Chains A and B, each alone.
Chain A
């Protein structure tokens, strides 16, 4: 009873953390859990058995990298055949794009960016933050299944659950009819930690005083394995790319540790990071609003604090050289 599909994502041949998280959410929603995977190259990522899905529908394509419209139509066919109750995606760039097109194409219920779920009277109630987290709502579906859901990364557990055998059903999609198609990926520099999946984020704001200040943050991030975030003020000044912006018009993140350096704590910034497990603020102004929501604060010059923080963090991890 209860068939659940979830969309697997991988990067550089490795499963992303969100894929494990989705598998775990899927197991809470139903008994039969099946993965959907798309990759132009047809290569199944390592460790696919660890998702606990014994069936995987794998889509491959030639003549292009990604075409939402075409993949969505293939998924429609699959869903009409298999009749799952839910189709889960990560709230990631590809997950958002495909899930929205899929739900619109089928005209079925859609709930995105969910951060929780619970059972009630045999049905499910889903938590979804609204208004940049100022309000928390709970939703139910009122339409018949199937329904489409996207799940916020870094919230649900990512436990591995192994199955001994995975049955991979490979299908080819044809992009020749696509009217919008990805032709190229301009790869990011390697070794950058994804903000949405990061365990530690160090973010810089106008308090850096200079675009070069980000060198200090990147140095810290590299040493401790963190991702680098930013306030809108410094993105708008062109100090760092928008892909690093945290907040209402940037990314919503929820790492274990968020370190805000030279960020005042505007409501639109808080919107993107307030669900972090632990927030540290480093600011030379003791009255900066960021201290109101920070778990720990240091009043001081960030340029003095960050190198020491790097040293002490590495020390406590037993890796003093970095």
Chain B
């Protein structure tokens, strides 16, 4: 049985970003696997650990330099990584990424496709769901607990909502997008790191996955950025002084009421 995990690279969450000449300056910024995708991969690996016939694919549409992070996915326990690279990927929107991913994932026929609930870059939260539409599958979003039943071809999942936790029931195959708290991702073991180099890490172009120039033409992004800027700096604040804590608190409440007018 196959499971696919789709992962993307995002700038390290520690990174400070700035805008130079109307473009984001990524100079010196390291890239990591999107934090939510760590939970997606871990969930697939737990299923693999618990069953013996599971093959876990990790699939990414990304830059060539992503092989380093994909190698780590293999070290963690994935069986095969597929990286689709193309110069134009910077211009693809999530709908287009989903179309590319569908071309890779269709022949694999996975029972489950795990994705992150959103990329912490543009926060689209769209690619996993768009992929489920491309594949003609249902999806369950923002999952914090997942219980597949492969014998029956069903699953139960829990997802958060404003009203409380939602209990989902559904049929496999399905796309599941991972929320933090789904599990605790593991670290790669030394053995895993050694073994990773022997596992397949395939790099494919759009042509190689059966996408023609014509289809690519129809992938034009439906939205366009017209400006980029840095958020306004917050005005420097002040420490409320006082002889006692009580004095400080009284000063604070006065400031909140009279200056900030928020209470």
Contacts and interface: CB of A to CB of B under 8 A. Distances in A.
A131 B157 CA distance: 29
Contact of A180 (B11, B174, B228, B249): B174
Given A135-B24, A298-B248, A291 B225 contact: no
Interface of A: 9, 11, 16, 65-66, 68-69, 92-94, 96-97, 100-101, 103-105, 107-113, 125, 128-143, 147, 178-188, 194, 196, 200, 235, 242-243, 245, 248-250, 256-257, 267-268, 271, 274-275, 277-280, 286, 291, 293-301, 304-305, 308-309, 312-313, 315-317
Contacts of B16: 134, 267
Given A132-B13, A312-B250, A110 B222 contact: yes
Given A132-B120, A185-B165, 18 more contacts: A93-B159, A112-B123, A129-B123, A131-B24, A135-B228, A135-B230, A139-B225, A143-B223, A179-B138, A179-B171, A180-B169, A180-B171, A180-B174, A184-B167, A188-B164, A257-B262, A271-B13, A277-B262
Contacts of B95: 103-104, 107, 110
Most buried by B among A65, A100, A135, A257: A100
Given A100-B130, A135-B24, A181-B168, A125 B262 contact: no
Which label, helix, strand, loop or mixed, suits the secondary structure of the A interface? mixed
B161 A299 contact: no
Interface string B234-250: 11011110000110111
Contacts of A309: 249, 252-253
Contacts of B263: 200, 257, 313, 316-317
A184 B36 CA distance: 25
B32 interface: no
B78 to A, nearest CB: 22
B256 A296 contact: yes
B180 A100 contact: no
A250 B252 CA distance: 28
A136 B230 contact: yes
A118 to B, nearest CB: 11
B17 A291 contact: no
B221 interface: yes
A314 to B, nearest CB: 10
Contacts of B179: 242
B35 interface: yes
Given A137-B227, A256-B262, A298-B248, A183 B239 contact: no
A97 B250 CA distance: 44
B158 to A, nearest CB: 8
A140 B129 contact: no
Given A274-B234, A294-B237, A298-B249, A180 B168 contact: yes
